[in-house]
Amino acid sequence: MEMLGTFKNKTSKEVVKSKIGIGLECLDRQMWDDTDEAYRLLGLTGVKHARVQTGWNRCEVREGIFDFVWLDRIVNKLLAEGVSPWFCVSYGNIFHSEATEPDAVSWPPIYTEADRSAWLKYVEALVRHFCDRITHYEIWNEPDINSFWSQAPDTLEYMDMLKITVPVIKANCTGAKIIGGAMGRGFSWMGFAVLEKYLQEGFGDLIDIYSYHRYRVVPELYSRDDFECLKETFRAYGAGHVELWQAESGCPSKTSTTHALANTPLDETVQAKVLCRSIMTDLDMGVDYTCYFHFSDFKFYYRNGFSDIPNFFGLITFDNPPRCKPSYSAFQRICSLFDEETKREKRFKLDMSFRDMYESKELYSFQVEIVNSRMTSFTRKGYPLISYYMPADLLSSYAGNECWKAKDIMLHIWTSDVNIKNAVVLDPLTGEIFKAEITEDTTQIRNVPTRQITVVDVPLKDYPMFVTDLAAVEEFLAN
């Protein structure tokens, strides 16, 4: 293919709307530095939303006295870059719990009246202070796992927390949106079982948004059918109005011994591919919002005590100045490409083949690859925009297995209206934009004119590539 140029992305100020967010968690425990350079780099990504933890223990460092200066800085810096923050209201406080470590992350303040009262005073002060800048409030983080709930996780205890907290937020912020769940196992069968209990206790009447987390090197493990099951579960309890947010999903850039995916053999290329596959999995399923974890690496890890071990989930390193990883650039390109002008479109027929496929001995093995591949249709500026890739094993070489190899394919696209005329292929990892050849089939069927196009010899890789019309993405083309 002829290379036309490279991808020139938008900044967060230039993007108007988006379903894509980034995690800025753990600043409450100062596990990374929120430097001016970090915010500058964040504003260059094109992301529009950021999840921020409010850190009760950092806000109330003297009993009964609240100081939001550190949190003001984060919120104001984000807004200045065109990024809208939303709050995960968490965690416990050493003055109002039995916590022995100052982070108190696993100590929900619900077991005594004094602790409950202190929590509600904190929530009221927090919401009053930020109500002019923050509209979305998530209550706690991963209450379904032991790491963030000191007792054995209990559905009734979390519902109790919601029932006392939601009225305080609503009373102090007109129009506030309540996010509930923040489920660490939200898309597993265990998560569904817990969700069912929540809904039986009136969960759907308390929240506007349900959030869940997913950490997988193979993000496609959870499918469209699983997402439909999730939507149907809410509908079954009269809560079909609740939005569904994937609020934490990420992959380290090197092997780590702490946090999710610990001890998995990873590198920066795998991280970038998983990022692309993770976001496209969510956009394919039709989530209302997807949030990638995390913007920065962690200098150390602090959860129920200090661990002097770095963590490498970030798009940037914690160096001074930070270094941007390949995942950072891939994130930029996807944020720009999937702004408010790109919309999911299900009325396209997509297929793939390869030259002389029906005479090849690989006919049936390739048909199996077609079954397993991901092809998702969108429109941008009235033109089809197609995401396609093979969700192959990215860790084959580490296991001593043969790696799946990229190959050239013929991508077939039928639409009922406008189709691609000047095909281009975008690679989110390299930023390269190529001109692609197309052929047309304009056969009339029962006097109905049809126009299927075939994009010829485009690469099928183990991460998403994008095919569209040059007119849809000309603004991104830099020579």
Among 285, 309, 337, which residue terminates a domain? 337
Among 337, 359, 384, which residue terminates a domain? 337
Q: DSSP of 305-343, one letter per residue?
A: SEE---B---SB-SSSSPPBPHHHHHHHHHHHHTBTTEE
Residue type for position 477: L
* Residue 3 maps to a domain: no
Low-confidence ranges of the chain (pLDDT < 50): none
- pLDDT, tens digit, 9 for 90 and up, residues 200-236: 999 999 999 999 999 999 999 987 889 999 999 999 9
Specify whether 249 is located in the same domain as 306: yes
CB neighbour burial string for 12-39, b if at least 16 within 10 angstroms, e if fewer: beebeebbbbbbbbbbbbebbebeeebb
Q: What is the pLDDT of residue 150?
A: 80
Specify whether 304 is located in the same domain as 380: no
Specify whether 317 is located in the same domain as 354: no
Specify whether 114 is located in the same domain as 254: yes
CA-to-CA distance for 450 and 443, rounded, in angstroms?
Answer: 6
Beta-carbon contacts of 387 under 8 Å, excluding residues fewer than 6 positions away, are: 280, 283, 284, 374, 375, 376, 378, 464, 465, 466
Specify whether 308 is located in the same domain as 371: no
Q: What is the pLDDT of residue 412?
A: 95
Specify whether 308 is located in the same domain as 357: no
Residues 409 and 350: beta-carbon distance below 8 Å: no
Q: What is the pLDDT of residue 417?
A: 85
The stretches of 338-398 forming alpha helices (DSSP H) are 363-372
Domain containing residue 357: CATH number: 2.60.40.1180
Structure tokens at 423: 């095909």
Q: What is the pLDDT of residue 182?
A: 97
Residue type for position 385: L
Give the structural domain span for 315: 8-337
Domain containing residue 235: CATH number: 3.20.20.80
According to DSSP, the residues that pair with 348 across neighbouring strands are 415
* Residue 1 maps to a domain: no
Residues 424 and 413: beta-carbon distance below 8 Å: no
* Residue 116 maps to a domain: yes
Beta-carbon contacts of 221 under 8 Å, excluding residues fewer than 6 positions away, are: none
Q: What is the pLDDT of residue 156?
A: 93
Q: What is the pLDDT of residue 446?
A: 59
CA-to-CA distance for 204 and 285, rounded, in angstroms?
Answer: 21
Specify whether 312 is located in the same domain as 417: no
Specify whether 189 is located in the same domain as 57: yes
Residue type for position 115: D
Specify whether 308 is located in the same domain as 369: no
* Residue 2 maps to a domain: no
According to DSSP, the residues that pair with 423 across neighbouring strands are 469
Which region holds residue 446: left if phi is over 0, alpha if psi is between -120 and 50, else beta? left
Specify whether 197 is located in the same domain as 320: yes
Task: Give me the number of domains the chain comprises.
Answer: 2
Specify whether 326 is located in the same domain as 347: no
* Residue 358 maps to a domain: yes
Specify whether 378 is located in the same domain as 332: no
Among 321, 337, 353, which residue terminates a domain? 337
